[in-house]
Amino acid sequence: MNINVICIGKLKEKYWRQAVEEYSKRLGRFCKLNIVELKEAPLPKNSSSSDEQEVMRKEGESILSHIGQRDYVIALEVEGKMMDSVELSQKLQKIYDGGYPAVDLVIGGSLGLSPQVKKRGDLGLSFSPMTFPHQLMRVVLLEQLYRSFKIQSGETYHK
């Protein structure tokens, strides 16, 4: 399975990079993982609502340019569907069985995802009604992907 994690912003702190490296290494047994880090659009100080919308539009265009036409897109968004780990594992298996060339998991920047990216998504996925920093969300997402593959392969993984 080809998995692309498309995200806005680079991981600045060493501990986030180390966690991502560890889960990326673990996931290598199960899938071809590609992490695409896209540049954050600058947000002016004392920004207006229209400034924020423009940042989301620019970031959205950048995200959409990295999504394959036939890829299955999962947009991480607060308003999305919540699943437990078993449900996510089953969903990923169904996507794989559906013959999609790749699964693109999209993490927006600090302002979230543009409406255009959400519209392109085949599934909106929420990990919680709470808002998380996008750096932390990348680590949580990779851990859940790893857990999903362990579940699919019948291997034990702590609960």
The amino acid at 63: I
Does the annotation list 132 as a binding residue?
yes
Residues 1/30, Cβ–Cβ less than 8 Å:
yes
Does the annotation list 129 as a binding residue?
yes
Does the annotation list 127 as a binding residue?
yes
- Cα–Cα dist 134/140, whole Å: 10
Residue 51, judged by CB atoms within 10 A of its CB (0-12, 13-18, 19+), counts as middle
Does the annotation list 76 as a binding residue?
yes
Residues 66/106, Cβ–Cβ less than 8 Å:
no
Does the annotation list 111 as a binding residue?
no
Does the annotation list 42 as a binding residue?
no
Annotated binding site for S-adenosyl-L-methionine: which residue ranges?
76, 108, 127-132
Annotated binding site: which residue ranges?
76, 108, 127-132
